[in-house]
């Protein structure tokens, strides 16, 4: 059974289940346990950190008995917090795995360089007041890191992936004079990778980090210290997942 | 001195100053008192209730001594909560009054008729699950109440205006299959008027209130009980104010 979800990250301590904390996986597993009177394990397409939003996350689980899909969807939404919306439930072939079936993820990191933040965007966009960054430099960095590289320096020691080689497409969207978004599309992302890329791109745009230093950190495992800071979680959103 | 503001209504107990509560007027007057070391009274274009949002509110006050406008703007934003943004400060002729100078206000009431609310819209749109309302009926009601009428039945006993005659233009915007907004433009609004109109329009769209009953309540002071409910504050936003 596949579920398609959206959630406001501010309400959750991340996706992955943790004792005594409200997590997306925990809320779903709790609702399913209530509904089915037996424990069920949810597998997500990835683990978003505390505060990270998702407009589209996918997970799967094995339903131990038949259910009318509409009833399942209504019951899960009724039994989970309103900051989590389960918008689709469908049966999938047995070999479908939310994480290992081939897919592309679309991430978006939004930031605002204006002096004061927009009151309607406080939880959804990182506020980075300061000089307007150079679009062309930011776009250039994103093009330069696009492709297949070893991103070992673009992650944390918490990363547990077997390989740190990833393929991605990256681009900048300028929303208005002060608002920007970094859009990354790829088949997989390392822990904190998008937030480290966003911090490095913003620093490059402001002239405090040379693009050559960022490119030099590709395919080298020991260059985390040369890159920009990890930007805060609330600017990040998992926008979409496509399965092939 | 005129100030142009925006605020996220969830953070404030309304616009008007109240003892021991965080209000927009209170936050501004407090910041001005800190800055000028003397009390200053703020006059707003209107008073929004607790929970109502504003993307554009205007107020004015008398500045007791000269200030560089950019410095004033920065200081006020630094001294007020981040849910309040002062985005413009300008000098105005002495006869300017935020409330009594001729102006038009644009209000928007947003609601969502889908079964489950959008996690990213919880504080900004009223969730009214149920059958999809009839667009044409809602549009018809809004056209029918447009114009100059006595809206005495479209307010609360808290209303303190000298006259309850108002002129407005009203229309429906359909944003997608489940999301609607009622847009009202007028020179002045009575207490709860937009929220009572929104509740009546939604009931008419769902067939539980006849449009003729709503039209019959115009120009009559005793028909509040025949109209729809007052919808909650968080769906309402003061979108813009234009001075002539």
Q: What is the pLDDT of residues B36-49, one digit of tens each?
A: 999 999 999 999 99
3-state secondary structure at position A142: helix
Closest partner residue to A119 among B6, B115, B116, by Cβ? B6
What CATH number does domain B2-90 carry, 3.30.70.580, 3.40.50.620, 3.30.310.50, 3.90.600.10? 3.30.70.580
Angle of helix A135-145 relative to helix A193-205, nearest 10 degrees, comes to 140
Nearest to A235 by CA among A48, A104, A85: A48
Phi-psi region of B239 (alpha: psi -120 to 50; beta: other; left: phi over 0): alpha
3-state secondary structure at position B29: helix
**Residue B70 contacts A where some CB pair is shorter than 8 Å:** no
Mean pLDDT of all residues in B198-212: 97
Residues in chain B with CB shorter than 8 Å from the CB of A115 are: 74, 77
Residues with Cβ within 8 Å of A129's Cβ and at least 6 positions away in sequence, in order, are A113, A114, A115, A116
What is the reported pLDDT for A157? Answer: 75
Residue B128 binned pLDDT confidence (cut-offs 50, 70, 90) = very high
Nearest to B32 by CA among B68, B2, B72, B85: B72
Residues in chain A with CB shorter than 8 Å from the CB of B118 are: 6, 85
Per the residue annotation, which of B20, B49, B121, B135 is the catalytic one? B49
Number of Cβ within 10 Å of residue B101's Cβ equals 16
What is the reported pLDDT for A159? Answer: 67
What is the reported pLDDT for A154? Answer: 96
* Residues A48, A23 contacting (CB under 8 angstroms): no
Residue B124 binned pLDDT confidence (cut-offs 50, 70, 90) = very high
Alpha helices in chain A (DSSP H): 24-36, 69-79, 135-145, 193-205, 211-217
CA distance B49 to B45: 13
Give the bridge partners for B84, in sequence order. Answer: B7
CA distance B94 to B74: 24
**Residue A65 contacts B where some CB pair is shorter than 8 Å:** no
Mean pLDDT of all residues in B48-63: 96
Closest partner residue to A85 among B6, B83, B119, by Cβ? B119
* Contact: A77, B115; criterion CB under 8 Å: yes
* Residues B165, B188 contacting (CB under 8 angstroms): no
**Residue B53 contacts A where some CB pair is shorter than 8 Å:** yes
Residue B157 binned pLDDT confidence (cut-offs 50, 70, 90) = confident
B18 Cα to chain A: minimum distance (Å): 22
Domain boundaries, chain A: 2-90, 103-243
Which parts of chain A sit beneath pLDDT 50? Answer: none
Look up the CATH number of domain A103-243: 3.30.70.660
What is the reported pLDDT for A45? Answer: 95
What is the reported pLDDT for B111? Answer: 98
**Residue A74 contacts B where some CB pair is shorter than 8 Å:** yes
- Kindly identify which residue of chain A lies nearest to residue B11, measuring between CA atoms: A119
* Contact: B115, A82; criterion CB under 8 Å: no
* Contact: B119, A77; criterion CB under 8 Å: no
pTM: 0.91
- A2-90 shares its CATH topology with A103-243: yes
B238 Cα to chain A: minimum distance (Å): 13
CA distance B85 to B54: 10
């Amino acid at each position: 059974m596949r579920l398609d979800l959206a959630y406001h990250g501010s309400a959750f301590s991340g996706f992955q289940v943790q004792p005594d904390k409200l997590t997306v996986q925990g809320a779903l597993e709790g609702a399913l346990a209530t509904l089915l009177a037996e424990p069920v394990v949810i597998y997500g397409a990835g683990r978003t950190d505390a505060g990270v939003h998702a407009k589209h996350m996918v997970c799967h689980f094995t339903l131990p008995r038949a259910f009318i899909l509409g009833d399942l969807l209504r019951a899960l939404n009724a039994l989970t917090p309103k900051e989590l919306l389960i918008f689709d439930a469908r049966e999938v072939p047995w070999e479908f795995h939310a994480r290992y079936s081939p897919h592309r993820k679309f991430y978006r990191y939004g930031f605002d360089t204006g002096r004061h933040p927009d009151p309607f965007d406080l939880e959804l966009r990182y506020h980075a007041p300061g000089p307007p960054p150079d679009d062309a430099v930011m776009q250039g960095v994103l093009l330069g890191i696009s492709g297949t590289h070893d991103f070992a320096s673009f992650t944390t020691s918490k990363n547990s992936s077997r390989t740190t080689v990833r393929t991605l497409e990256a681009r900048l969207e300028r929303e208005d004079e002060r608002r920007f978004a970094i859009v990354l599309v790829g088949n997989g992302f390392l822990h904190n990778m998008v937030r480290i890329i966003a911090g490095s791109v913003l620093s490059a745009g402001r002239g405090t980090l040379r693009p050559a230093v960022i490119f030099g950190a590709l395919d080298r495992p020991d260059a985390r210290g040369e890159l920009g800071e990890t930007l805060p979680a609330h600017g990040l959103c998992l926008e979409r997942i496509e399965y092939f």
